[in-house]
Amino acid sequence: MSRRALRRLRGEQRGQEGPGLGELGLDPGPERAREGGPPPAPGKGPRGPSRAGVSNRFELIPAEESEDEPAAGEERPDTRLSEQYMAGGSQEGSKDRSKEGAVPEETDGDGHREGQEAEQQDRALAMNNKPRKKKKKRKTKKNSAGETVEDNDLEDIDSLLERIEDPRLAPQSQGGITTDSRPLLYVEHRNLNPENELKRYFGARAVLGDQRPRQRQRQYVRSMWLTAPKNTWPRYSKTGITMQLLDTRRGVQHFTFEHHREYQQVQFKFLDAVESMDPNNIVLLLQMNPYHVDSLLQLSDVCRMQEDQEMARDLIERALYSLECAFHPVFSLTSGTCRLDYRRPENRAFFLALFKHLMFLEKRGCPRTALEFCKLILSLDPENDPLCVLLLIDFLSLRAREYTFLTRLFQEWESHRNLSQLPNFAFSVPLAYFFLSQQEERPELERSQARERAARLIQLALIMFPSVLMPLLDQCSVQPDTRVASHPFFGLNAQISQSPALNQLTSLYVGRTHALWKDPAVMAWLEPHVHEVLRMVEAQDALVQEAEHKRKIRYQSAPRNIYRHIILSEMKEATAALPLEVTSQPVMGFDPLPPLDSIVSYTRPERTSHPSNESTLSLFFRSLLPNFNLQGDIRHDGDDEAGAAQDLNQGVNRLMAAMRDMLANIQFQEPPRDDNPEGDGDWD
């Protein structure tokens, strides 16, 4: 209530506040009766302990309600106060008039007390109105776990999301294995940021350091999901790359990147720079076009070969930033229903940038973030899998301890993708079930089922791929017992008899995941199953014969995407097993092993010269005289003798003309003049 409303209730006008009634010697009884206030009790002083009514009208306001906002459906405090005041004043006034007896006159101190009470009332109103705007009720919310969370706790969004996505609170299937209602290749935005994973490991203070206060002064940059822009990067401008929606079939949207004319010209210059075999030409091209994607990918490989890992990673992140700025508004990273065709050269840069960024994240110690990028690559083309990330996703799942995701992927895709025929899935899935059986927080029924599945699947893996065991034990520095080492089923004969394609897969798996098998508990779990397999081999079990027949029929030659994956992974064990037809051809970092059925939207213009048809003498003269061209235009009647003689004469004439031009352009520099003819000293 404002002071103006208070004066109206007291019957005063502004500027008419006079001295107290006690100071004027007037009887305050009628005035107090008119205002509705009770007269003082007879025989009591102004500070008497008891009064007939309420001396302070504002005692009607509860102390708790003055600090809180009115709830929904309640009246405002000011309105309630005025109504209670008017009702209370009229009732008290009628009671005072019905009372008998003389009203004693107020003394001088009572009038002064009334003035102080008015000031205290104004001050109380101001204090009651002020916190009502600032203080609010502490609302409580409940999360999906049933725990009460206050507003202060809601500020830490990451911790709340981790609590919500606790695997112990996830729904479970009838078999006891945890299931998830989300799509299999669902990508979470928060898991694409490696800083979130590093914060969980080391804390926000260790990761961010002094970056928090500096972010306030940072210039505005566009927020991205795949990578965070850096202040050291050049200012971004449109590069000429766009994304178009081709069509939508069965709820799946097919997109493609497109290169505008100006970007095509830059692409042609980049191809010329690559053919020059000089990285400095790519650097010069990037200075003019700092966000050309293929130049960033190729220069990143050069920096990585020169052991400059930080610069190589920075260039890959810049390429991802350039491509994400060109996304279509409908393109979604998380839905798992957006597709890109690797056969189109414009789309390959996005696949390769994601894969190389994934490899940097895994080396950096962020396997959970790398797994999310791996799921993203697989969701772009799950049918063809152009980079064959299925050979990598099991390793990242084990590193990130996402055992439930790996087992779910195996259960849902085994029927139509035959994942058990890949050595990595044949060995990694039982290892994931073993780790699930070791988690004490899971129910005993679920742990026992995981233990049984792990035992059954590891035996099938050892029967199907016996050549994995001995190299795996060798990498783990484990010496097998004499029975296993001397048995021919796991011996050297198993490695020699397998096909080169299968040898590449097993070498890739052993070289990549051997560190996960070094755990003594894992080796203790593996040993009895190895002996059980040897017992089945000696008993000539039907499963052993069937597995041997499958190895002879299958794995005759590896598809092109597996070769592409081995080249990008750079595993020495697998790269050494590549066939000659792959190692003999040049492999470019911006487009390794392009598909044979590529969909080309634009072609590079033909060059005027044809160096491949020139002779050694012609190349020698060209190195001396850049203007020399012996062959000139290609003649279709080159077999004719007269035409050959004429071409020879024209070639000689061109050689002479080129030599004349060279001699005419030679300029002799004058010797430098000696400004000091006397010299610095004698030559005696």
Mean pLDDT by 10 residues, the chain (684 residues): 70 54 47 47 46 50 46 45 46 45 43 54 54 48 46 51 47 46 87 88 74 50 80 91 95 95 95 91 94 96 92 96 95 92 96 96 94 96 96 96 96 94 96 96 95 96 96 94 92 88 94 94 96 94 93 90 94 87 86 93 74 56 51 46 56 64 58 51 46
CA distance 518 to 473: 9
Over residues 474-487, the pLDDT tens digits come to 999 999 999 999 99
C-beta of residue 630 within 8 angstroms of C-beta of residue 614: yes
Total residues found in the chain within this entry: 684
Which residues lie across from 141 on neighbouring strands? 149
DSSP H helices, 36-76, are none
Q: What does the DSSP assignment read for 157-185?
A: HHHHHHHHT-GGGS-B-TTS-B--SS-TT
CA distance 211 to 129: 40
Cα end-to-end span (Å), the chain: 112
Helix, coil or strand: residue 405:
helix
CA distance 223 to 228: 7
User: Who contacts 349 (Cβ-Cβ below 8 Å, separation ≥6)?
Assistant: 257, 293, 294, 297, 319, 323, 590
Q: What is the pLDDT of residue 399?
A: 96
Helix (H) or strand (E) holding 138: none
To which residue do tokens 């290892």 refer?
431
Handedness of CA 305, 310, 313, 319 (dihedral sign): negative
Contacts 24+ apart (CB under 8 A), 576-584: 576/507, 577/500, 577/503, 577/504, 577/507, 578/504, 579/500
- CA angle, 258 as apex, 255 and 261 as ends, to 5°? 165
Helix, coil or strand: residue 293:
helix
Q: What is the DSSP letter of 342?
A: T
Which residues in 58-178 belong to E strands, given as ranges? 140-142, 148-150
Q: What is the CA radius of gyration of the chain?
A: 43
Helix, coil or strand: residue 424:
helix
- Spacing of C-alpha 391 from chain mean position: 21
Q: What is the pLDDT of residue 228?
A: 87
Contacts 24+ apart (CB under 8 A), 667-675: none
C-beta of residue 345 within 8 angstroms of C-beta of residue 382: no
Helix (H) or strand (E) holding 395: helix 390-399
Handedness of CA 487, 488, 489, 494 (dihedral sign): positive
Over residues 521-575, the pLDDT tens digits come to 999 999 999 999 999 999 999 999 999 999 989 998 899 999 999 999 988 888 8
Neighbours of 262 (CB within 10 A): 12
pTM over 0.75: no
- Spacing of C-alpha 358 from chain mean position: 10
Q: What is the DSSP letter of 259?
A: E
Task: Please give the structure tokens belonging to residue 507.
Answer: 């070498």
CA distance 372 to 196: 13
Task: Please give the structure tokens belonging to residue 360.
Answer: 């940097």
CA distance 662 to 665: 5
CA distance 448 to 403: 16
Residue 88's Cβ-side half-sphere holds a number of Cα atoms within 13 Å equal to 19
Neighbours of 62 (CB within 10 A): 10
Name the percent of the chain lying above pLDDT 70.
Answer: 61
To which residue do tokens 């409940």 refer?
142
Helix, coil or strand: residue 241:
strand
Which residues lie across from 172 on neighbouring strands? 178
